[in-house]
Amino acid sequence: MTEQEPTKEQISIGATNASDLPKLYFNNFTIGYSPVDVMIRAAQNGMPIVEINLSFGVTKQLAFSLMAAIEEIEGLLDHPIEVAKKKEATP
C-alpha cells in the first residue's frame, strides 16, 4: 500500500488521529478573561460541558476565522444567520 501525504488537517493535529478526538456540541457559552488569557465555558442545554483557556493571540485569530466562516456560510445561504443577542465578555 502506498503512503499518502498528510492533509493540512492531519498536520495541524499532529500525531493525534482526528477520529480519536472528543466531539463536543454546545448551544450556549460564556466568555471571561484575566490579565493573561481568555476563558470560554461551553454549555449544552444549560449544563457546562467544557472550559477552554486561550491566549489573547489565539483568541483573536479564532474570532477572525469564525467571522470569515460565518460570512462564507451566510453567502451560501443568501441570508444572515440570526442570533438571540450579541454575547459580551465578562471580566
Whether residue 1 lies inside any domain: the answer is no
* Residue 29, pLDDT above cutoff 80: yes
Residue 10: per-residue pLDDT? 53
- Answer for the pair 42, 26: CB distance below 8 angstroms, yes or no: yes
Whether residue 16 lies inside any domain: the answer is no
Residue 36: Cβ-neighbour burial (10 angstroms; 0-12, 13-18, 19+): exposed
- Tens digits of residue pLDDT in 30-88: 999 999 999 999 999 999 999 999 999 999 999 999 999 999 999 999 999 998 876 56
Residue 15: per-residue pLDDT? 54
Whether residue 13 lies inside any domain: the answer is no
* Residue 8, pLDDT above cutoff 90: no
What are 31's three cell numbers?
A: 466568555
Q: Which domain holds residue 52?
A: 24-91
Whether residue 37 lies inside any domain: the answer is yes
Higher-confidence residue of 90 and 62: namely: 62
Higher-confidence residue of 86 and 15: namely: 86
Whether residue 89 lies inside any domain: the answer is yes
Residue 1: per-residue pLDDT? 47
* Residue 90, pLDDT above cutoff 90: no
Whether residue 34 lies inside any domain: the answer is yes
Total domains present in the chain: 1
Whether residue 9 lies inside any domain: the answer is no
Sign of CA dihedral 4, 10, 14, 18: negative
